[in-house]
Amino acid sequence: MSIKTLTSLLFLGAAPSALAWGTLGHDTVALIAQKYLANDTVTYVQDILGVSTSTYLASVATWADSYRYTAAGKFSAPFHYIDAEDSPPSACNVDYDRDCGAGGCVVSAINNYTTRVQDTSLPATERLNALKFIVHFVGDIHQPLHDEAINIGGNTINVTFDGEDTNLHHIWDTNMPEKLIGGYSMSDAQTWASDLTGEIDNGSYSGEKAKWLSGIDLSDAVSSSMTWARDANSYVCSTVIPDGVDGVEGKELDGAYYDSSITVIELQVAKAGYRLAAWLNLIATGSTALKVKRDLRVAQLPNSYMPVRKGRGLSAAKMAREAFGHKC
Ligand SMILES: *[C@@H]1O[C@H](CO)[C@@H](O)[C@H](O)[C@H]1NC(C)=O
Ligand SMILES: *[C@@H]1O[C@H](CO)[C@@H](O)[C@H](O)[C@H]1NC(C)=O
Ligand SMILES: *[C@@H]1O[C@H](CO)[C@@H](O)[C@H](O)[C@H]1NC(C)=O
Ligand SMILES: *[C@@H]1O[C@H](CO)[C@@H](O)[C@H](O)[C@H]1NC(C)=O
Ligand SMILES: [Zn+2]
């Protein structure tokens, strides 16, 4: 166990240490989003948060990972992922009806909290929680192993990274991002966010960023976030386990595997931040950018809270998840 793992265990009591995208990834996603928020969105978001520091969005980005381990927040544990029951590496896909479990998933959660943050009849604390959930879950859905059921999202695939015994899920959340940046403080996240916004504005992502917003539609949060889930899940086949579980199980991955994975991690963190900004701009202003005025908002309210489906038997993958728990 690393010092850091030990520290987080002490902070969270008996909670498991697995944080989806670690602190570094979630803070970076939020800082990238901050840069692309329209001015009206900044006002909207800061009013709900009651915070206007330079890290106003990043300061709430990991709240959901602590909340899930409290008695009050236990219900939200399945909202951090969608366990896609596909067949990597030969076939990657996500199917909402097949994969979103009876207790909900990251897609139903983004839908629910998008509705709730806009519902001015709710108490302020509920709208605050809704916003904090959105900031976190738009990050989570971009981590490929949050969109994959195999070995409980890679949690039971043992690997080593730089000599440390860990698992495949954990190195995607934490070890690989931290190896790239060298730490996980807010200033490390600011460094990474600044690199990635440079790539988005004028660098290697400038030509593709417009495509990142295709399929985005505030009136259909399920189909919008399913687009993001399918995009992330496709990397399970191409990059996460291109040679199947046997290709990584028991191996040291701090070499060629890191080199191929880190480019996908950077891309996914950049997309998450950019899409989060567009989503919050839609919520606050009715437009992904600052073009349309607020009165359009009412017409674009999502029309339903997604009901959780009942009455289906649990698949083998969903039973394995129940037995494992809802970590990551
Ligand atoms: C947004 O706010 C910034 C900082 O307050 C200001 O410099 C900028 O002109 C504003 N942009 C628009 C489009 O109002
Ligand atoms: C929506 O969010 C509320 C508040 O967190 C929660 O009580 C409810 O179960 C959620 N509904 C769904 C369908 O996820
Ligand atoms: C993986 O590691 C855990 C914890 O160290 C251990 O309990 C488990 O048996 C290992 N699984 C495999 C398949 O080696
Ligand atoms: C990079 O892009 C941003 C936003 O599109 C622009 O304001 C800035 O001038 C560009 N910088 C360079 C060096 O091209
Ligand atoms: Zn999470």
The residues spanned by each domain of the chain are: 39-293+306-324
Residue 313: what pLDDT?
A: 72
From atom 9 of ligand 1, which residue's Cα is the shortest distance away?
39
Nearest atom (ligand 2) to Cα of 130: 5
φ/ψ of 158, rounded to 5, equals: -75, 135
Nearest atom (ligand 1) to Cα of 290: 13
Q: How far is the CA of 294 from the centre of ligand 5 (A)?
A: 31
User: How far from 95 is each of 90, 98, 134, 149, CA to CA, in Å?
Assistant: 16, 5, 21, 12
> Active site includes 21?
yes
Residue 119: what pLDDT?
A: 97
From atom 12 of ligand 2, which residue's Cα is the shortest distance away?
112
CA atoms within a 13 Å half-sphere pointing along the CA-CB vector of 216: 23
Residue 293: what pLDDT?
A: 36
**Token pair 């950049």 in the structure block, residue:** 270
Ligand having the closest approach to the CA of 324: 3
Predicted model pTM: 0.88
The pair of three-digit structure tokens given for residue 154, joined into one six-digit string: 């890679």
Over its length of 328 residues, how does the chain's per-residue pLDDT go in tens digits? 343 443 443 343 333 444 568 999 999 999 999 999 999 999 999 999 999 999 999 999 999 999 999 999 999 999 999 999 999 999 999 999 999 999 999 999 999 999 999 999 999 999 999 999 999 999 999 999 999 999 999 999 999 999 999 999 999 999 999 999 999 999 999 999 999 999 999 999 999 999 999 999 999 999 999 999 999 999 999 999 999 999 999 999 999 999 999 999 999 999 999 999 999 999 999 988 733 333 333 333 343 444 344 445 788 888 888 888 776 6
User: How far from 321 is each of 87, 99, 134, 169, CA to CA, in Å?
Assistant: 17, 12, 23, 14
* Residues 320 and 150 sit within 8 Å (Cβ to Cβ): no
Q: How far is the CA of 112 from the centre of ligand 2 (A)?
A: 6
Q: How far is the CA of 158 from the centre of ligand 3 (A)?
A: 6
Per DSSP, the residues of 212-257 read HTTT--TT-HHHHHHHHHHHHHHHIIIIISTT-GGGTTT-B-TTHH
* Residues 123 and 134 sit within 8 Å (Cβ to Cβ): no
Helices H / strands E in the chain, number of each: 15, 2
From atom 3 of ligand 4, which residue's Cα is the shortest distance away?
201
> Can you name the CATH fold of 39-293+306-324?
P1 Nuclease (1.10.575)
Q: How many CB atoms lie within 10 A of CB 152?
A: 23
